[in-house]
Structure 1
Amino acid sequence: MARVALFSFKPILDPAGNLAGPAIRPFEMARALAARGHEVRLLEPESASAAAPELSAGAGVDLGRWHPGRSLSPFVRDADLAILPQELVGRFTDLGPVPRVIDLFDPHFVSCLFNQAPHFDAEQAFYYAGKIHDLARALREGDLFLCAGGRQRLFYLGMLQLLGRINPETIREIDRLIRIVPLAAPEGEPAAGPPLIRGVHCSDDAPIVLWSSGIYPYLDAEIVLDAFLRLRAELPAAQLLFVGADNPTAPEMREGYRALRSRVENESIQGIHFHPWQPYEERGRIYHEVDVAVALSPPHLETELCFRHRIVDLLWGGVPVVVAGGNDLGEWTAREGAARILGEFDAGALARLLSEILSDRDKRDAMSRSARAMAEGPLSWERIVGPVDEFCRDPRPAPDLAARHLGVSLRSVLRIPLTDYRGLLNRARISYHVRGGLAGMLLRRGRG
């Protein structure tokens, strides 16, 4: 079994002591790999809450902390491999020869363009350029890349091709270079608890629609509010519950929440409820009281590439979902009968679809069963972690990076200006000779 150093870019717990959203994937992956017998050390930033070790001990993994201003090499010195999010790419230089798995499941460099667009100035342009630089560096140096679905795989394969990672040494083993490892659902079933609004702020039989997300620029909560106003004309008892609309961990993105809440108050819209994020272990109570959830974003690049954790969690909760089409998870959930795709992106179409689902209890029950079946089957960590477990059992450098792991530097050899056609040919010949010839010879000798 392998000794795995698994890095989280964010603290495991947020300031309130709850499992933080960006840390859910590394936290759950650490537990899944530990369950398969690997020695996992989950590493979070040193600024993390003091309560985190207790949570980690319960996860069955060892917890460590890396410091933003210090080397990461001590954490990988005795490891067989390192698993890192792309955000930590700036610290790759001191990892040494350890094979590295780069998790690219969240193409946040796309969503950040939407977040920054209203105020995209020179400072934001510099910030975005840094993200692209770090991404390119990660793609050059990773031995295995993880993505969330087929669309992301093609997206990253195009980048890898441009950076020369699709080459004679990797072309026949692309699955050794990039694997699909989506977000997975947690084990077990959501625990019930005191309701947030059912029987408290509305009747016990009121239809409840859920939005469980922040109000971010790449999403569309306004269409949900517009559709709800139309839905209330048909189902006057209907309620709309926003959970986590005001994200305390992202104060720079609260503008959408403030605008939405102001509209609700200014127009005196009834049946709207705002609640903060619930503790991770208690969030199941929400799913027990709602009838349907909405997770929508307009048709754009971020929507095509996304694989939303909130939708996976809703499936775990057995909640029927209305989703956007044009992305892997939305189409998958619709095929399995757990979700309905909003084909026409307007408030009237959404209101009609919500009314159809809310008016048919048998349909909702069938969607709920399909959602739970996905969470317990193809979206379970037991299934999802398979490709990572496979690499952990045989952690090897990517074929075209073998020279790096043997301590052979090609940088000085390849510093040839691309000034003309002849220079390009010479560089290609030298690169192929050094990588295929010298590195190949050393590998063959090393293997005996």
Structure 2
Amino acid sequence: MSILLLSPDVITERMAGPAIRYWEFAKALAPFHTVTLAAPNAIPDTLQHTTSFSLVQHTPENITELISCHDIVIFQGYIFDLYPMLRESDKVLVADLYDPVPLEGLEQHHAPQDRPIIADQVRMMNEQLKWADYFLCASERQRDLWLGHLLALGRINPLTYHEIQQRVIIVPFGLPDSAPQRTGTGFRQSLDNEAEFVLLWGGGIWEWFDPLTLIRVVHRLSPRYPDLRLVFLGGQHPNTTIHTMPKQHRAIALAQELGLYNTQVIFQSGWVPYDVLHNHLLDADIGVSAHFDSLETHFSFRTRILSYLWAGKPIITTQGDVLADEIARHRAGIVVNPTDEDAWIAAIEKLHNPKNYATYIDGVRMLAFKYRWSNVTQSLLSLCANASRAPDRIVENGLRKSQPRRDCEHDYNALQLQKVALEQQLDFIENSHSMRLTAPLRTLRRWLTHWKT
């Protein structure tokens, strides 16, 4: 089989989760298949000659040829919108749904006027679920979510009912098979001499995370534990289209307000290159992750947790997601309630004791073995070896079979976005002092209000 991996994120020396996932997919598949990993950016020369698979940039100009040269196409996120010709392809389409985008979106966009943003994200997921032959997810919870979604969209039907469960495949994020070996310096070289017990926040500060509780905890503990430091490793995302989120600004402001900024609480700038990430992970004592009790948490799969496991570090995290359950079950760390400062303090104090710390190492190793890339990609290898088109999407006359009814959702959402833009223009004009000008516009406003209901 020939397999095309369409990465939604940049493939560079500095890679975030989606790009790392597709890089590791390519490495796992390459011994058995002809693999092309395509990214939205020009591939750096430093990466071109170091892989057992082809590395290219995907563009509107070359995408048709790329698709035609492969048997299976694996994609994620906005890729399906960017290249609508996938809907007409006779290739086996695999939608990677390990990131439930609308739930993350709702953590950022929760004002009434943000509804079109969320509607567009749901539409994006719907399109993938309507047209793909297989679906990847990260956990049993996500699998249940997407099976329900497929049922609502009519994809679980008499043609697919007896095989749909074999088409929704669990392929979680993973970690390298070999334990990390230090090859250089990490972040400790920039810390002061007193820093001996380091909590590592090993990724970005997104809106659905809770760094503020952790910063307040460090403030309360610092008088008794002058050796305690909290390091935020992820600064600016390597994909320049992803901007710094408000939560990161709030975290920096709180650290400054409490007098901890870049003393007890350190914010690293930039993004650590993937090939030296292990040096920074090995500098930590504890891996931490804090989030809220939300629907996003329930269906999430916190990939930074796997980085801590790979480096052999015990973890303190908040409960609510599947990896928190795994950490508690394997005794790979301590799980606390969301926003519970006292519980965080107790957990840090417990692991600060070397004897207690040592009791969690075996659990970390056991859980790390479970999530090795060689283990978690077995189901992906099986899928690619036996791939077939979904029976309700068999190609007709060279085109992928369409929905039996006209789907107006895309047009409706586009109209909603136009309506929001029009209302914003009306708000501006209605503030004018000219009653003659605004009279007909007020009539239009009443019509828009009636149409909304």
Q: TM-score under structure 1 normalisation?
A: 0.82
List per-residue Cα deviations over 1:110-163 (Å, max 9, x = no partner).
11221233xx575x5433322211211110111110000011111111110101
Cα 1:407–1:195 shift into 2, 3 Å = closer
Q: 1:436 maps to which residue?
A: none
Matched with 1:31 is 27
* Contact preservation (8 Å) 1:217, 1:256: yes
Q: Deviations over 1:349-388 (max 9, x none)?
A: 11111111112x243234234323333x221111111121
Q: Secondary structure at the match of 1:131?
A: helix
- What is the CA-CA distance between 1:406 and the residue it aligns to? 6.9
The equivalent of 1:425 in structure 2 is none
Q: CA deviation at 1:20?
A: 3.8
Q: 1:104 aligns with which of 91, 97, 110?
A: 97
Match for 2:54: what amino acid? D
Provide the C-alpha distance between the structure 2 equivalents of 1:70 and 1:374, rounded to a whole number of angstroms: 44
Partner residue in 2 for 1:141: 131
Q: How does 1:377-392 map to 2 (within 5 A)?
A: 377-392=369-384
AA of the residue aligned to 1:170? T
TM-superposed deviation, 1:18: 1.9
1:443 corresponding residue in structure 2: none
Structure 2 equivalent of residue 202 of structure 1: 193
Bigger drift between 141-150 and 212-221 goes to 212-221
Aligned to 1:57: 49
Name the structure 2 match of 1:7.
6
Moved more, 20-29 or 193-202: 193-202
Match of 1:365 in 2: 358
Name 1:80's counterpart in structure 2.
71
What are the within-5 Å matches in structure 2 for residues 101-140 of structure 1?
A: 101-117=94-110, 120=111, 122=113, 124-140=114-130
Residue 258 of structure 2 is matched in structure 1 by 267
- Tell me how far apart the structure 2 counterparts of residues 352 and 218 of structure 1 sit (CA, whole Å): 24
Indicate yes or no: 2:333 matched with 1:339. Answer: yes
- The residue that corresponds to 1:352 in the other structure is 346
The whole-number CA distance in structure 1 between the counterparts of 2:315 and 2:361 is 9
Which amino acid in structure 2 is aligned with residue 235 of structure 1? Y
**Quick one: which amino acid aligns to residue 308 of structure 2?**
L
Per-residue deviation at 1:229?
Answer: 1.8
For residues 404 and 304 of structure 1, the distance between their equivalents in structure 2, rounded to whole angstroms, comes to 40
Taking the aligned partners of 1:93 and 1:178, their CA distance within structure 2 comes to 23
Amino acid of the residue matched to residue 327 of structure 1?
D
SS in 1 for 2:163: helix
Question: Structure 1 residues 233 and 352, CA, compared in 2 at 3 Å: closer, same or farther?
Answer: farther
Contact 1:10–1:44, Cα closer than 8 Å, also in 2 = yes
Which whole-Å CA distance do the structure 1 matches of 2:220 and 2:297 have between them? 25
Per the TM alignment, residue 338 of structure 1 is displaced from its structure 2 partner at its CA by 1.4
CA distance in 2, matches of 1:59, 1:366: 39
Against the structure 1 CA distance between its residues 73 and 163, is the aligned structure 2 distance closer, same or farther, given a 3 Å change threshold? same
Q: Hey, what does 1:182 align to over in structure 2? A: 172
Call closer, same or farther: CA 1:365–1:174 in 2, change over 3 Å: farther
Partner residue, 1:292:
286
AA aligned opposite 1:222 = L
The percent identity for this pair of structures is 25
Question: Residue by residue, what CA displacement relative to the aligned partner does 1:49-103 show, whole Å, maximum 9, x if unpaired?
Answer: 451x531431311012211x44632112121111111321222434511011110
**Corresponding residue for residue 171 of structure 1:** 161
Unmatched runs of 5 consecutive residues or more in structure 2: 409-453
User: Residues of 2 paired with 1:286 and 1:220: CA distance?
Assistant: 22
Name the counterpart of 1:222: 212
Count residues in correspondence: 401
Structure 1: which 5+ runs fail to align? 418-448
Q: Which residue of 1 aligns with 2:428?
A: none
Deviations, residues 368-415 of structure 1 (Å, cap 9, x unaligned): 34323333x22111111112111211220112222559757465x646
Q: Which amino acid aligns with 2:92?
A: P
In the alignment, which of 226, 231, 243 is matched to residue 236 of structure 1? 226
Q: State how far apart, in whole Å, the 1-side matches of 2:64 and 2:165 are.
A: 28
Counterpart of 2:20, as a letter, is: I
2:348 partner SS: helix
Paired residue for 2:315?
A: 321
Assess, with a 3 A threshold, how the Cα gap between structure 1 residues 356 and 347 changes in structure 2: closer, same or farther: same
Question: Residue 449 of structure 2 aligns with which residue?
Answer: none
Q: Provide closer, same or farther for how the CA distance between residues 154 and 111 of structure 1 changes in structure 2, counting only shifts above 3 A.
A: same
Q: Does 1:308 align with 2:308?
A: no
Aligned partner letter, 1:298: F
Is residue 246–residue 254 contact of structure 1 (8 Å, CA) maintained in 2?
no
Please state whether the residue corresponding to 2:109 is helix, strand or coil: helix
Structure 1: distance between partners of 2:366 and 2:105: 33
Which amino acid in the other structure matches residue 352 of structure 1? Answer: A
Match of 2:418 in 1: none
Q: Residues 350 and 356 of structure 2 are in contact (CA less than 8 Å); yes or no, is this contact kept in structure 1?
A: no
Conserved 8 A contact 1:330-1:339: no
